[in-house]
Amino acid sequence: MPDWQPPVSEITSFEFRDFDSFRDHLHGWDTDPVQLDAGPLRLRWDHLRLEDFGLARLQVNRRIADTSAVEPGFLGFSLGLEPMRWCGLEVPAGSLLVLSPGRDQRSTLRPGFRSVEITASEKLLHEAGILADAIHPPALPPERCVVPLGPGLVGAFEELARRLHHSAGNGGSPSGATAVRHRALHLLRSALQVRGIPGIRPVPRFDLASAALRLVEDNGGDRLSVQELVQALGVTRRALEYAFSSALEVSPAKYLRARRLNQVRRDLHARAPLSVTDAALCQGFRHLGRFSGQYRRLFCELPSQTRRSESPQMAATSADAGPLSRKQRKDRRASSA
């Protein structure tokens, strides 16, 4: 294996209470999560970041509907340590997902979900000899991007992720970061040689749920109702209810409301936050008393408490001034490339 000389590494260990602050620390991919069930969010993120490589251990305590995208020039690898729903499949624990640019990675994560996440540049993977054309094109069906791993490999990936704590305790030395990266590439090489049939099942009516989600995302400025989705998709309300229950384990109405409440929370945590009233009205909440109750039930705090809070993350290192917009994140990454 070549003796790469990476740039100075960044090793962080955070516990986030807000998705935007979490997204600010990503490299090589982006995500648009929606918290679906009630309770304070706790998202644990232990992360080694190099210019061409990232390794992280993720833990989240709430049910999440997520759409992720890998940035051009990178590949992602996600080892789920718990079962999940991904791209229309029921994926068992211990499966490695191969994530490439050009495909929206839709997933539903249950409370207590844990994973090991790896991102690597295509250049690095080519140099390491582990980027095969067969795993790269986004045109591959999702089931071809699921690699079932045995307990030995799963345990090796978990142990590697646990080493992040020790590396951070040693000040995140470049030599320690390099060793972790070399070990991760070796494990990926072994994992991608695995041949087997993953124990996956299709999620019923996922295509309909995905089409509805795309409509919602494409019309972010125009809040769609369940009835408008039904009419636009040319299906019955019952069919849409079944699709959402199957794919997301919530009704369409509950999902749409949760998505709007999550956006209000982002607006209240922004660098220049809106007032509670303006944030609620922007998302179509006209009855402020009812909105406040819905917000409190989902996040276990009043919207005024969210707006007054300081950093939405608890960290071992200094906090950011506040969440960046998606454009600001892309600009920052472009300037550091």
Q: Which CATH number fits domain 10-202: 2.60.120.10, 3.20.20.140, 2.60.40.1120, 1.10.1370.30?
A: 2.60.120.10
Tens digits of per-residue pLDDT, 278-310?
999 999 999 999 999 999 999 999 999 998 875
- Rounded CA separation 36/189 (Å): 36
User: Which residue type occupies 207?
Assistant: D
- Rounded CA separation 118/98 (Å): 10
- Tokens 């999550």 sit on residue: 262
**Residue 144, pLDDT score:** 86
**Residue 8, pLDDT score:** 45
- Domains 10-202 and 206-308 belong to one CATH topology: no
Sequence spans of domains, the chain: 10-202, 206-308
Nearest partner of 147 among 194, 183, 187, judged by Cα: 194
CA distances from 175 to 102, 121, 166, 212 (A): 34, 20, 13, 47
Residue 274 tokens read as: 């809106």
- CATH code that applies to domain 206-308: 1.10.10.60
Q: What is the dihedral of CA 57, 60, 63, 69, to 10 degrees?
A: -40
Residue stretches of the chain with pLDDT short of 50: 1-8, 134, 311, 314-337
**Residue 152, pLDDT score:** 96
pTM of structure: 0.84
